[in-house]
Chain A
Amino acid sequence: MEILKNKSNKFDAIVIGSGMTGGIAAKELTEKGLKVLVVERGREVKHVEDYDTAMKAPWELPHRDKLTLRSAEEQWANNRFNNMAKDDLEPFMTNDKENPYLEKRPFDWIRAYHTGGKSMHWGRQSYRWNENDFEANAKEGVGIDWPIRYADLAPWYTYVEKFVGISGQKENWDVLPDSHFLPPMPMNAPERFFKEKMMEKMGRKVTIGRIANLTKSEPQHLSLGRSSCQYRNKCARGCPFGGYYSSLAGALPAAAKTGNMTIIHDSIVKEVIFDDRSQKATGVRIINAVTSEVIEYFAKIIFLNAGSMNTAAILLNSTSNRFPTGLGNDSDQVGRNIMDHQLGVGANATIDGFLDDYVVGSRPNALYIPRFRNLGSDKAKNFMRGYGYQGGASRKGWNRGNGMQGFGADFKDELTQPGEWSFGFGGFGEILPDPNNRMFLDLVKKDKWGIPLIVFDASFNDNDLAMRKDIMENAMEMLDAAGFKQVTGYNRKEVHIGLGIHEMGTARMGNNPKTSVINKFNQIHACNNVFVTDGAAMTSASCVNPSLTYMALTARAADYALKKLKTKEI
């Protein structure tokens, strides 16, 4: 294969991946004046223009909410997440058959290879970590200590929040530090009742979900063409109004505005090129996904933002004399300590009353119940850390008919009227770092571009299983305490690690190069012009949704990189 080496392939910085974190890296670096190349392995999706299913009416999706056999076969992994690749999202989710991975132990890996990555499809729940989240490893002797504390990240949270736009209610709770908020979305009537009951009966906090949807479009959003949310709740298909944050609606347009960004698609980064003479990374080697042509690009600094698992795979595949087992892998921690959040466990109930309450608009959001386990005087018997809950109340619609007896004219009429209210929520549980929960490369089996396949070897442990049980039991207890009816718990057995879609930890931060991959500014310890700022950087997982933290870490690292470039320290 001919390798193109061309002087015009030189940039100040290369960002690998155009998703949630790659977008922020590109924005920050271009706004600071660097010429940046963003390398994206998937196809180009243009904001608004290419959201082909966004405005489709229910009847315009031929199979409605049924999964086709074709999708079930081609997207065998993505569909483990609630049959995600139905007619509306199938065009955007990665074809697992063409992009296979291997499971020594099962791992649910949900992927979206295209401009914006998973930021196009995320649930937008956005929470700050708290002080304890950064200190817990050290206090409890779990994994390794974080090299940073909440105070290091707090200003960067604010910085990112202003740009992204997070709607939420200010609460002044230590467990869930407030963000810089846009106005909160309203709770419905049964939810307000539930909130009061939880405080009264169990001393538990409930707040409206904190979400990256614009309840109000501020000038920084309007200037990118982002208007406020129209409450259609079809965000995962892409929003024609730019009503929710994605890399496509926010960071990439901002980066493009500077005139300093070049973005290439269908370009799979195979490896980072390390120069043994200068002991620095000099660029990346990519394979064009369509033509299989190999091309090299060069830059002073490289940001890895391919998504935690792919970032680790790129590092492992970047071998050199200095790093025979993969770039930055002196500690043997690259690919280890896979964490995620537990999902697929919770409870549902029905509610008597509130029959004269109704909601206009489809809220793309839910309630949030912050962690209470193993905090303060609460002590769980048989597991460490804790979990938060997300869910809420809604009125049943026509599909309740499936569980009812009857058919014919009266039955039809009944289904056109709103049913009773139902209430449901599920837990997001913290998973601890464990070096034996890992992914590695299969050196024999390769994909169609000759890149080694990723093998996952990870699972829940006893702590996780005990926590899952508690998540379900407590959810039921809370619904009972609220006086709701037909309380039923669920703890889905076919769920594996990965299904939380918060996969992280595969190139962790730390002070000690012997036990971690990157330092407190996300630089690879032994190769300081390479930054890892996606979820791979995480030293522990907290139980809150992670993307806001990834974005704050990315903005902070970009700021640092620029300072060090200026002083020629990298």
Chain B
Amino acid sequence: MKRREAIQYVSSILGLAISSPTLSAMNRFSALSLSPKYQPNLFLTSEQFHLLDELTELIIPETKTPGAKEAKVAAFIDLVLADCYVEKDKKVFTDGLQSLLNRNFLSLSTVNQTEFLKTMESESMAARSTSNDIDFWRMLKELTLLGYFGSEVGIKACFDYQPVPGKLENVKWEKGMKMIAY
């Protein structure tokens, strides 16, 4: 549903006239909408970017719903790395990618890739109990989840996206229901 329609829909169920400033603002919001034009390779080299793209898909693969690649998770991570992480943490991430490149990670079979990542995860989990330092796996997984479940593709495929719920109700969870995203 388009925003403007959503608002009108809500106003009709409530029997309320939505003021004209609200409507004009809705139009303005639509016009403002960023269609996020991520520039690939903002920060990562194309080799690193390509590897990252594959890694995110291993974490969130395409199933009956789209995977991380389709949701352009790598591009999101690239942008966030550039804009949000201090040098030290950026380096943790690029070092992590580089060491996988050095080991020719992408030439491994899928089974071996998965095994490799499992080992990496166990090491990361173990390190967490003794240190608060961020490590490559932790960053990769966190950013992949945020990149996917925060993307338009991910949200619309996995959840019931309700920007304007219009109600607050306790209900029973039944099989087949989708979690609501707001």
> B-contacting residues of A (Cβ < 8 Å)?
47-49, 51-52, 54-60, 62-70, 185-186, 188-189, 217, 222, 225, 227-228, 230-234, 240-241, 355-363, 397-399, 401-402, 405-409, 411-413, 415-418
- Whether the pair A62, B167 counts as a contact (CB closer than 8 A) is no
Chain B interface, number of residues (Cβ within 8 angstroms): 69
B145 close to A55 (CB less than 8 A): no
Asked whether A225 lies within 8 Å of B22 as measured between CB atoms, the reply is yes
Min distance, Cβ B24 to any Cβ of chain A, angstroms? 7
Q: A62-B34, A63-B84 are in contact. Are A358 and B18 (CB under 8 A)?
A: no
Contacts of B146 in A (CB 8 A): 64-66, 399
Q: Which residues of B contact A225 (CB under 8 A)?
A: 19, 21-22
Among B18, B146, B158, the one with the most A-chain Cβ atoms within 10 Å of its Cβ is: B146
Chain B hits for A186, CB < 8 A: 168-170
| Given A55-B29, A360-B169, A405-B121, also A415-B11 (CB < 8 A) | no
| Contact among A56, A69, A363, A412 for B86, CB-based, below 8 A | A69
B51 within 8 A of partner (CB)? no
B94 in the interface, Cβ–Cβ < 8 Å?
A: no
> What separation, in Å, do the CA atoms of A225 and B3 have in the docked complex?
19
Interface residue from A47, A234, A358, A402 paired with B141 (Cβ < 8 Å): A402
Give the residue of A227, A358, A408 whose beta carbon is less than 8 angstroms from that of B16. Answer: A227
In the complex, 6 of the A-B residue pairs with CB atoms within 8 angstroms, ordered by the A residue number, are A63-B79, A63-B80, A69-B84, A357-B171, A397-B179, A407-B141
B159-182 vs A, CB cutoff 8 Å, 1 = contact: the mask equals 101011111111111100111111
Given contacts A55-B29, A240-B25, A60 and B121 within 8 Å (CB-CB): no
Say how far B92's CB is from chain A's closest CB, in angstroms.
16
Mark contacts of B112-140 with chain A using CB atoms, 8 A cut-off: 1 yes-contact digit, 0 otherwise.
00100100011001000000000000100
Known contacts: A55-B163, A60-B34. The answer to whether A359 contacts B26 by CB under 8 A is: no
Task: Report the Cα distance A401→B58, complex, angstroms.
Answer: 15
Taking the complex as formed, is B40 at the interface, i.e. its CB lies under 8 A from any CB of chain A?
A: no
Q: Which residue of A lies closest to B165 (CB)?
A: A361
Interface residue from A64, A240, A356 paired with B26 (Cβ < 8 Å): A240
User: CB within 8 Å of A: which residues of B?
Assistant: 3, 7, 10-11, 14, 16, 18-19, 21-22, 24-26, 28-29, 32-34, 36, 58-61, 63, 65, 76, 79-80, 83-86, 114, 117, 121-122, 125, 138, 141-142, 145-147, 149-152, 155, 158-159, 161, 163-174, 177-182
> Closest CB-CB distance, B43 to chain A, in whole Å?
12
Q: Which 7 A-B pairs have the closest CB atoms?
A: A361-B168, A225-B19, A358-B173, A361-B165, A407-B59, A416-B158, A66-B84
CA distance A59 to B76 in the complex (A): 10
Please determine whether A49 and B21 come into contact, CB atoms closer than 8 angstroms: yes
Additional 7 contacts, C-beta under 8 A, given A57-B161, A64-B147, A398-B149 = A58-B155, A230-B166, A356-B172, A357-B171, A359-B168, A362-B165, A412-B63
Complex Cα gap A391–B29 (Å): 32
User: Is there an interface contact between A412 and B60, defined as CB atoms closer than 8 Å?
Assistant: yes
Among A55, A63, A234, A413, chain B packs the most CB atoms within 10 A around the CB of A55
Q: How far is the CA of A175 from the CA of B166 in the complex (A)?
A: 33
Q: A64-B146, A412-B63 are in contact. Are A359 and B155 (CB under 8 A)?
A: no
Contact yes or no, A228 B83, CB < 8 A: no
Residue pair B145, A57 in contact (C-beta under 8 Å): no
**Contact between B79 and A62, CB atoms less than 8 A apart:** yes
**Residue with the highest number of chain B CB atoms closer than 10 Å, among A57, A363, A407:** A407
Neighbouring B residues of A363 by C-beta, 8 Å:
168
On whether the beta carbons of A230 and B10 are closer than 8 Å, the reply is yes
> How far, in angstroms, from A60 to B155 measured CA to CA in the complex?
12
Q: Which residues of the partner chain A approach B172 to less than 8 Å between Cβ atoms?
A: 356-358
- Nearest residue, chain B, Cβ from A226: B19
